[in-house]
A and B are shown apart, each in its own frame.
Chain A
C-alpha cells in the first residue's frame, strides 16, 4: 500500500451556548506517499480546522466533538493521547502555519526556535551539532547570512524570511508528511513563487508527502498533483490537477476557476463570480449545501444529500448531476 494517510468520515463540531457549528462534515480523503494534495476552498469552509483536527491541534474546548477515523501508517491518530502525540508530531507529521508572525515566538532567537524540534526528537545530540544543522538548513532555504540569522529575533526579519523560518521549523525533523496551511498568503508575488519552489525542492529531495491548503488555485496548480475542493466542511470534488482545470465537474469548482483573472483574457470580458455567500455552518441543510448558490440546481438537490460518485479511478465528485441512479429514479 502506498497510502500514507487515510481519512474517513471525519466530522468536527463545536458547541457554543446558543449554536452548534458543524465545521467538518463527514469528510474522506487520502494522501499517497510522495504526493502533494492541494485542498482548495473559500475562507470559512473549514480547511484549517480540518487540518488541525488531523493532528490533534484543535483548541481545547469541552464542547468539541470529533468523529471518524484518521489512519496514518496504520495507526489511528484520533485515539492517541497527548503524550503519544508529542513524540509523533514533528518526527512524522509537521505543519507550517498561515501567519509567520503569529506562529513564531517573538522572544526566542531564530536558531533556538528552529533547533527545538530537532533537539526533542534526537536526544543526546550535542549543541554544536544542532546549531550546525540549523545553519545548514537555513542556508538551504536560501537565507542570506545564516549565522547572523541564527542569533536574530523574528521581528528583525522580513515577511518572506519569517515564512522560511516557519518552513525550517517544520522540516528540520524530516517529517514524512508536511501540512502547509496557506504558506504563502501573506507574501508578495515574487516571494510567493520563491517559497513555493523551495517547498517543492525540499519535497523532491526527501520524498515527503504534502497537504497544501489554500484558497488560491494558481498556487495549487503550481505545486500539487491532486486537488480536493472543499465546500462547507466537506470535500466535493477530487481530481488530478490538470483534469480538474480542464474539465471541472462540480458547479462550485467550475465557478471557483472562473473567478481567477487570466493573463491571456481578452480585455473587457468580465470575470465570473460565485453568487451568494457561503452557508451558515450552524445549520445542516437537508440537501446539498451548495444548492442555494448553484446555477444547475435541481429539485433533488434541495431535498437529499448527493452521494460521492466515482467518475474514474482518480476522480470523484459529490453532485446530483453525475449520479446515474438518481437520473433513473426521478422522472
Chain B
C-alpha cells in the first residue's frame, strides 16, 4: 500500500452553537484514507458521521485540527483553492431525489461540474456526459429526462455520474444505498465496486448498515458520539471486535443466518445520553456499556493501538 495517505485528519474538532449551550459533533477524530482504498464509517444516527464528511468536503469549517489532502493542509486555505480541491473530492448524498435539482435535466445535472470548472468546449462536455452515462449504466436517452421521471436507483446513478465528472480521487458516499430497495441496493453497490476498480477511486463510505460496509470496505471506523472508538481492517472488525459498542452494533445487525443473533447484547436506547449535555469526564459510552468499570466514569479512555492495524479507545484494553 502507498505510504502517503490521500486524506488525513489530525485531532479534528467541530462544535455547533445552539440556543442553549454547545453541541460537540466531532471530538478529536484522527484518521486517514489511502488512494484506492475504501474506509467505512459506521455509527448510530446522530453520531457525527455526516458532519465529519462535510468537514472533509469543506462544507463546514472545523474548530481545531488539521486536514491534510495529499500531504497539504487544507484546513486554512483560500476559498479559491477549495474550489479546485473539490474536483478531487466529490460527494454522493443519501437521498437521490433530494440531491438533484428538479428543474434540471439529467444532462444539465451531470454537466454542471464541467461548466463550473470550465472544462472543454460545449461539444466536448456533451460527449463527456454521454460517456459518464454509459459508465454508470444508463443510456443516452436518459440524458433528457428530469429527476421526477427517473426511479430512485436511476437518480442515484445520475448523482454518481455527476460526482465522477471531474475525475475525483476521493468520493465521499453518505449512505448511498439507504434510501433504495434491496435489489437496487445491490446494483449500486456493484457499480461502486466496479468504478473503484476501473478508476482507482478512494471511498469514504458512511452507513449504518454493517453488512454493506463490510462488503465494500477495506477498513472500518466506528464512531460514537463524535468520537472515534475503534478502527481496523474490516475482516478484523468482524472476527475480533474489541470495543463493547462495536460488539453491540455487530450483534444488532440482522443477517440471514440466525445463529449470529444469539450473541445479542441489549443496547438500551433509553439510557442513550443527550447530545446537548454529553457525559463529562469519563467515557461517553459509560451509561450504556455492559462492561463499565468505575474508572470509565471518571477518566476518558485514550486511543490505543492494540496492533499495527487495530486501534481502540476503551479502558478494557490498556
Contact = CB atoms under 8 A, between A and B. Distances in A.
B254 A193 contact: yes
Contact of B45 (A188, A264, A271): A188
B252 A189 contact: yes
A85 interface: no
A189 B210 contact: yes
Contact of B215 (A189, A221, A245, A265): A265
Contact of A219 (B249, B254, B268): B254
Contacts of B44: 188-191
Interface stretch (B8-16, B89-97, B163-171, B183-191): B183-191
A194 B267 CA distance: 8
B183 A218 contact: no
Nearest to B250: A263
Contact of B182 (A188, A189, A192, A260): A260
A143 B248 CA distance: 20
A172 B199 CA distance: 55
Nearest to B177: A261
B111 to A, nearest CB: 26
A259 B271 CA distance: 35
Interface in B123-154: 151
Given A222-B254, A271-B190, A274-B183, A261 B214 contact: yes
A256 B268 CA distance: 32
Contacts of B214: 261, 263, 265
Given A160-B269, A189-B252, A222 B182 contact: no
B183 A245 contact: no
B151 A263 contact: no
Contacts of B253: 189, 193, 263
A273 B183 contact: yes
A142 interface: yes
Contacts of A219: 254
A189 B213 CA distance: 12
B208 interface: yes
A56 B260 CA distance: 40
A215 interface: yes
Interface in A215-234: 215-219, 221-222
Contact of A43 (B181, B193, B255): B181
B241 to A, nearest CB: 12
Given A160-B269, A215-B181, A271 B252 contact: no
Interface in A183-208: 188-194, 196
A232 B281 CA distance: 56
B255 A259 contact: no
Contacts of A257: 256
Contacts of A262: 211, 255-257
B182 A221 contact: no
Interface in B233-248: 234-235, 238, 248
Interface in B273-299: none
A107 interface: no
B254 A263 contact: no
A281 to B, nearest CB: 14
Contacts of B190: 270-271, 273
A221 B271 CA distance: 28
Contacts of B309: none
Contacts of A217: 182, 256
A264 B215 CA distance: 9
A42 interface: yes
A237 to B, nearest CB: 16
Contacts of A3: none
Nearest to B215: A261
Nearest to A265: B215
A159 B268 CA distance: 15
B2 interface: no
Given A142-B270, A188-B208, A194-B269, A261 B189 contact: yes
Contact of A261 (B212, B238, B267, B270): B212
Contact of A192 (B151, B212, B254): B254
B210 A263 contact: yes
Closest 9 CB pairs of A and B: A259-B186, A218-B254, A261-B215, A193-B252, A144-B270, A271-B186, A188-B208, A274-B183, A188-B45
24 contacts: A43-B181, A142-B270, A189-B44, A189-B208, A189-B253, A189-B254, A190-B44, A190-B248, A190-B252, A191-B45, A191-B269, A215-B181, A218-B255, A219-B254, A222-B261, A256-B183, A261-B214, A262-B255, A263-B214, A267-B234, A267-B235, A270-B190, A271-B186, A273-B190
Interface of B: 44-45, 151, 181-183, 185-187, 189-190, 193, 208-212, 214-215, 234-235, 238, 248-249, 252-258, 260-261, 264, 267-271
Given A42-B183, A261-B186, 13 more contacts: A42-B182, A188-B208, A218-B211, A219-B254, A222-B254, A222-B258, A255-B183, A260-B211, A262-B211, A263-B238, A263-B255, A271-B189, A273-B190
